[in-house]
Structure 1
Amino acid sequence: MTALDDKINSQFPGLVVRKDLVKQVKGNAIVPTYVLEYLLGQYCATDDEASIESGIETVKEILRKHYVHRNEANKIQSDIKERGRYKVIDRISVVLNEKTDAYEAVFENLGIKKVAVDSVTVKENPKLLVTGIWCIADVQYEFSEDSRISPWILEHLKPIQIANYDFDAFLTARAEFTLDEWIDVLMQTIGFNPEAFGRRSKLLQLMRLIPYVERNYNIIELGPKGTGKSHIYSEFSPHGQLISGGEITVAKLFVNNSNGRIGLVGFWDVVAFDEFAGRDKTANRALVDIMKNYMANKTFSRGVQTMGAEASFAFVGNTDHNVPYMLKNSDLFEALPVQFHDSAFIDRIHAYLPGWEVDVIRGEMFTSGYGFIVDYLAEILRHLRSDDLSNRHQAFFSLSDSISTRDRDAINKTMSGLMKLLFPAGGETQEEVEELLKLAIECRKRVKDQLKRIDATYPVVEFSYMTKGGMKTSVQTLEEIQFPAFYHKSLSDDEDDGAVLEEQPQTETTSSPSVHNTVRAAPKVNTPAEPTPSEDHVVVSENQKGISFDKLFGSYLRGATEIKLTDPYLRVFHQMRNLMEFIETVVKFKAPEDDVNIHILTSPDDTRMEQQVQYLEQVQQSAEAAGVRVTWEFDGTGTIHARHIITNTGWKILLDRGLDIFQRFEMNDAFSLANRIQEQRACKAFEVTYVKAEK
């Protein structure tokens, strides 16, 4: 157990569970995570190993006896008949039989229909009438000679949801965690290992929760396959409903005018549309129009009557192309069906979550630590839906006057959701709010910038904010920083964009005069024009790609025969791999006939000194064959913090992160481009300053 695990267990006793237990008990049961964690919460909400082991066996036994596998449905039906009554765990829905004026339940896995259910049960659980809910139910069998009477009777039903919670106690306990700790608690709750994610990546994951805390919030996430886009909406909460994008109808989503029955938006907090993308898909134009009206006004029509609802929409789908391709040839919404690739529909989306920044899910990303029982957190998030924190950031910042009302509302709703997730009881600092505000503005700016490409009548908007002291900061999307030539390209341009990514300007968004920074590309073979090193300052954003040691250092290392690298953290494997890749850059940019001496000053790893020395010796032996002589020394004072490179050609390169600039990636996967090409890796946020020093 980590210190964070200890803390969450002490602050939320009985409300947390070890997240790897779900896999242990699930087996081949096809049930949502919240169902399993509900059961684990009854028996395993503790950090006592003996109790956990006993609880796991109890839950396994409950699932073995009462969860209905479809291939065992006949056997369970027989057990019910022979015993007269039996408890089952199944997904249950209810329909009204108008001929008999009675409600009838359908058990999805058990495969029985026309199960008699009383009106009181239906009134207490109206979601039974929509898409059904997971329940623990007592089913009775009473045979009748009358063939019109079904022998199946639903005697008792209990939805799989937490019975009660203390919201004030939740707020009190939250105050005991720092923001970093709380973010990690939420990450572990949704099943992820926080150490496998950078700060921005964590916030992007948590943005998927905003529809659960914010009413009538519309978010879209488009990106590559396998990034877990739909997981939150299918597994996390009993208040969310995931449906296939191809199954949307007016009757299912809003209202069936033939019988007046309200659709999904009337019963669920979140309606998520899976596989929403696909240019070959079609949608009913009337449906699109009703959705646009609902997304803008929170209302829909039921005949001549106008009705309101609170359901948030989440649209998730896969992209067909990478980001620069979309920016060059179309727009970031290109994957949407034609009917939804509509400026009025897109303008009603509050935030575009960049799915291409989310890593494909790997085994190492899952946590074995503790997190909330998801059903408990789902109830807390539902409670927070009634709060409005959209103006809390205004204590520190104000949005630019050029931002329209619709854009402003979108940013405010995203901020409200983030504040509810991270600061439900307040206590935020200006610095913490600014980080969230930049993200909220960026996610709306991504929508508006693409609208400008789709429909030229949309005006150019300056997305910026100001402090109370009048200091102004402009916000850019990461794609804008990474691919400026494509991002600001009009779709009507016929220019040959060839290899425009050779230079990528990085603009530091501060209140001071902007600094034009350039990440220089590695020189091309047989290209006479090579970048000339000059004093400069480079700012790289978190999750930015297209960065390499060749671009950062190559031209500054050319011609150097003496290089000194100071980096206190050259210890573990990935740090030593970074060192080896730095030496590769030195080899590429030196003349074949030259010898280069690299001297390394680093700090000793007192816990693994032998391994550290072994790594350095391996680096030394490998580099020598290429004409690079590596020496090193350990700083015995433990006081070095500066990280820099000094060459005998007069350059000093200041590195705020040293060589450790890349996010985690799968280093053992030979088929991963990120493993083989630095430009394919997501970066941590860092800065590099180039200073011409005396030789």
Structure 2
Amino acid sequence: MYDVDKLREYFPSTTVYKDPSVMSMFKAAKIESFLRDWILKRKTGVDGVIEDKDALSEYVASIIPQRSEKERLQDEARTEGETRFFLAKINISFNSNANYYSFEIPSLGFSHSQTIIEDYVWNRIKSELIGEAGGWGLVKLGYMPPEGNKKNGRFTLLDFKNFCPYKVSLDDFREARSHFETEEWMNILLGAIDYNPDGFMRKGWIDRDVWRAKHTMLTRLLPFIQPRVNLIELAPQQTGKSYMFGKISKYGWLLTGGQVSRTMLFLDRRSGARAKGLVTCNDFIAVDEIKSISFSNDQEMAGILKGYMEDGYATVGGTRVDGEAGIIFLGNIAYENMDSDKDMIGEINPIFRDSALLQRIHGFIPGHYVPSLSPNMYINDWALNSEYFTEIMHLLRSTSETMKYRGMVEELVDVSSATGNTSGREKEAVFRLCTAYLKLFFPHANSDLIHTLKFKQEFDRYCLTPAKTMQETVLKQMRFVNPGMFPDGNLGFSTYTVRWDA
């Protein structure tokens, strides 16, 4: 565990008490962690305790309406002129033919065809919405009746307030991080995503096993903090994959079951507004249950995915669609087959029996190192606010931040040409993963710190060695798909080393 008093000293306004019984209430209501922590910040006392759980339940019911309440909200907007504020995620779109913005609230069933944002409102709130194609916040709706005899009544967006209740400063975050040892920081990160760092121990495990389990759990955060990181994780059930990618951050999207189409991910050409897909307005797209999920057209999707995962854009019907979202594939396979020296791809979707597609994946998350979740793995103490932490990770994805940390990785890592086996694509994968790890574990890194011996030793352990292993597993799986790719068996990963003498 970490020193709670020290955590609260350096993060005085961005910690929250995570009580398992209270957290279970939110989980039962299917409320994401970032919404939960926003509510807890307002409803707990200075000791972090919820005194009246019934009152909390009533507040949650009032602030987060269910889909069944759509008709009540519609009537409220129409008869009273406006609704109360409520929490929701809205997506915006500009209709160039009609020259207005519209919005949708998928959780409540409001679609673009039913809505409009009037210019006087848009000019007031656009700074909260633009750049994200929408977002989570406090929403107030109104109603615009039909004009004349036309049947064009629409629901209007009267107000939108981002619910971030504190200042999010990367400089403050970096300064606070500098006061913690790396092992302690790893435990703080686990608390930020609701896990108890003391709950990872299992019978017969040694310190190395516990460290590896914790590190692997946090590896799932790499797409949260680094643009266009493509990963795959094949792991046992009940290890928290879906929770991590579906509940922690408002900036990601989890696809579970059903069919995945070009329209959904990239561009709906049938829409009058030519609505862009999920990759354009999310930090990552996680495709869950890839053994059972289907693609509308396997060959088409494989081609589009290969282009997007390589270059960050896809061309659909002559329209270029750019995105910064990483693509993550999640699935369950038998534990005995979770071995990089075995064919793990054979059990999952046939679309992955394509070495060119596998080449676009930067790393395999070794999910079999994470133990099955048990009650003692959930935090029961003060921890970083999940919503605050995901805001920090989102800010660290910016171009300027990415360039800065990538520059440090370029200084730290030496790529020997002795074997001649490493390719530009493999190097990019290792360096991109290292950059993400550097942001996660060492956000306070600078040109002075990275040249110290202690830092280089920790960078090797926390960043470079795991990155090499993750990409090496991808190449081993490619060899099962295409045995002729590496006939000599040498994948060349001894060529990536820390520059100890620099």
TM-score of Structure 1 vs Structure 2, range by shorter chain: 0.7 to 0.9
**SS, match of residue 253 in structure 2:** strand
Query: Is residue 2:93 matched to residue 1:90?
Result: no
| Cα pair 2:260 2:293 within 8 Å, conserved | no
Structure-to-structure mapping, 1:269-668, within 5 angstroms: 269-278=283-292, 283-304=297-318, 306=320, 308-319=322-333, 321-324=334-337, 331-385=343-397, 386=399, 387-388=402-403, 389-390=405-406, 392=408, 398-401=414-417, 402=419, 403-426=422-445, 427=449, 429-436=455-462, 437-459=464-486, 460=489, 461-464=491-494, 465-466=496-497, 468=499
**SS, match of residue 7 in structure 1:** helix
| Cα pair 2:306 2:357 within 8 Å, conserved | yes
Query: Is residue 2:276 matched to residue 1:266?
Result: no
| Cα pair 1:242 1:272 within 8 Å, conserved | yes
| Cα pair 1:219 1:350 within 8 Å, conserved | yes
Aligned to 2:197: 194
Question: Shift of the alpha carbon at 1:355?
Answer: 2.0
CA distance in 2, matches of 1:10, 1:306: 48
The one of 127, 137, 140 equivalent to 2:139 is: 137
1:432 aligned partner, one-letter code:
E
CA distance in 2, matches of 1:379, 1:447: 30
Identical-residue share of aligned pairs (%): 24
CA distance in 2, matches of 1:161, 1:322: 41
The 1:324–1:433 alpha-carbon spacing in structure 2 relative to 1, beyond 3 Å, is: same
1:336 aligned partner, one-letter code:
I
Aligned to 2:40: 40
Question: Shift of the alpha carbon at 1:202?
Answer: 0.8
**SS, match of residue 429 in structure 1:** helix
The 1:65–1:381 alpha-carbon spacing in structure 2 relative to 1, beyond 3 Å, is: same
Aligned to 1:216: 228
| Cα pair 2:141 2:158 within 8 Å, conserved | yes
Aligned to 1:53: 50
CA distance in 1, matches of 2:127, 2:251: 17
Aligned to 1:15: 14
Aligned to 1:67: 64
CA distance in 1, matches of 2:10, 2:382: 12
**SS, match of residue 456 in structure 1:** coil
Question: Shift of the alpha carbon at 1:152?
Answer: 3.8
Query: Is residue 2:206 matched to residue 1:180?
Result: no
Question: Shift of the alpha carbon at 1:153?
Answer: 3.2
> Residues 145-176 of structure 1: CA distance to partner in whole angstroms, max 9, x if unpaired?
85724374321122444564121111111100
**SS, match of residue 346 in structure 2:** coil
> Residues 451-510 of structure 1: CA distance to partner in whole angstroms, max 9, x if unpaired?
11221221231321446579xxxxxxxxxxxxxxxxxxxxxxxxxxxxxxxxxxxxxxxx
The 1:80–1:391 alpha-carbon spacing in structure 2 relative to 1, beyond 3 Å, is: closer
| Cα pair 1:161 1:238 within 8 Å, conserved | no
CA distance in 2, matches of 1:61, 1:146: 42
1:349 aligned partner, one-letter code:
I
TM-score with structure 1 length normalisation?
0.60
**SS, match of residue 268 in structure 1:** coil
| Cα pair 2:225 2:394 within 8 Å, conserved | yes
| Cα pair 2:267 2:321 within 8 Å, conserved | no
CA distance in 2, matches of 1:157, 1:390: 36
The 1:314–1:98 alpha-carbon spacing in structure 2 relative to 1, beyond 3 Å, is: same
Question: Shift of the alpha carbon at 1:275?
Answer: 1.6
CA distance in 2, matches of 1:271, 1:280: 16
Aligned to 1:247: 259
CA distance in 2, matches of 1:73, 1:467: 57
2:493 aligned partner, one-letter code:
F
TM-score with structure 2 length normalisation?
0.81
Q: Which runs of 5+ in 1 are unaligned?
A: 471-695
Q: Which runs of 5+ in 2 are unaligned?
A: 201-209
The one of 122, 126, 129 equivalent to 1:125 is: 129
Q: How many positions carry a matched residue from both structures?
A: 462
**SS, match of residue 202 in structure 1:** helix
Question: Shift of the alpha carbon at 1:179?
Answer: 0.4
User: Relative contact order, CA 8 A, sep 6+: which one is greater?
Assistant: 2
The 1:276–1:245 alpha-carbon spacing in structure 2 relative to 1, beyond 3 Å, is: farther
Aligned to 1:154: 157
CA distance in 1, matches of 2:389, 2:500: 38
CA distance in 1, matches of 2:257, 2:430: 26
> Residues 391-423 of structure 1: CA distance to partner in whole angstroms, max 9, x if unpaired?
535656534433322222111111111111011
**SS, match of residue 339 in structure 1:** helix
Normalized per residue, the structure richer in helix is 2
**SS, match of residue 165 in structure 1:** coil
| Cα pair 2:338 2:368 within 8 Å, conserved | no
1:362 aligned partner, one-letter code:
S
CA distance in 1, matches of 2:292, 2:499: 45
Question: Shift of the alpha carbon at 1:134?
Answer: 3.4
| Cα pair 1:279 1:336 within 8 Å, conserved | no
**SS, match of residue 238 in structure 1:** coil
The one of 216, 234, 237 equivalent to 2:246 is: 234
The 1:280–1:405 alpha-carbon spacing in structure 2 relative to 1, beyond 3 Å, is: same
Aligned to 2:207: none
| Cα pair 2:259 2:294 within 8 Å, conserved | no
CA distance in 1, matches of 2:92, 2:350: 35
The 1:466–1:92 alpha-carbon spacing in structure 2 relative to 1, beyond 3 Å, is: closer
Query: Is residue 2:9 matched to residue 1:5?
Result: no
Question: Shift of the alpha carbon at 1:43?
Answer: 4.7
Aligned to 2:206: none
The 1:59–1:155 alpha-carbon spacing in structure 2 relative to 1, beyond 3 Å, is: farther
| Cα pair 1:116 1:150 within 8 Å, conserved | no
CA distance in 2, matches of 1:27, 1:304: 43
1:232 aligned partner, one-letter code:
M
CA distance in 1, matches of 2:65, 2:364: 39
**SS, match of residue 161 in structure 2:** strand
